[in-house]
Amino acid sequence: MDIVARAKALILQPRQEWQVIAAEPADTRGLILGYAAPLSLIPAVCGLVGAVMLGSMMSNMVGVRIGFFSLLLHAIASYVMGLGGIWVLGKVIQNLAPRFGGAAEEVPAMKLATYSATASWLAGVFMLIPVLGIFGLLGLYSLYLFYTGAPAVTRVPADKAGVFTAAVILCAIVLYMLIGWIAAMLLLGL
């Protein structure tokens, strides 16, 4: 299935699409390079363009300017660390799933980590125009995608999917705060 059709199906009919995803063969490399890498370019590129636009507005208004090279480095670092974050999140899922009655298998865990991020990557388009950034909250739909995908892909029982989702979200928050901190340190040159 192509990326656009998969993303559309996940957004519009997640329960049915998770059943398709669970049944199809995959590997970690293919998931990261074939799906995560292209889709995660959306927030990276849109964020860079939006930051450049915001930066030039800010420099005109208050004289504060962040150089393009710093913004580009930040975008690249965020992109690469975000992909690494998907892999680490997959490993977290793989290790947490058995504690909630699910399977401790790498590929299903990576499927869940990769495909559940779809809404947040698509919502990254709102970073293109800084004023519309608030609409990036639509990316929170990824939490619902994760919740609906957990029973289908990692075989976590449906009655434990909510608690499993909450546990993984807490781990993801810590993980992505760490990634954001590292990216910010790169931007500031520290």
Which tens digits make up the pLDDT trace of 10-25? 999 999 999 999 999 9
- Domain extent at residue 108: 3-188
Q: What is the pTM of this model?
A: 0.86
Helix, strand, or coil here: 112? helix
Radius of gyration, CA atoms only, the chain: 17
Backbone φ, ψ for residue 67 (5° rounding): -65, 150
Q: Into how many domains does the chain fold?
A: 1
pLDDT tens-digit map of 93-140 = 999 999 999 999 999 999 999 999 999 999 999 988 877 778 878 888
Give the ranges where the chain is alpha helix by DSSP (H). Answer: 3-12, 14-23, 28-31, 37-39, 41-62, 68-96, 106-116, 118-123, 141-149, 161-188
- Name which of 86, 161, 159, 84 is nearest 116 in CA terms: 86
**pLDDT band (50, 70, 90) for residue 172:** confident
The CA distance from 85 to 87, in Å, is 5
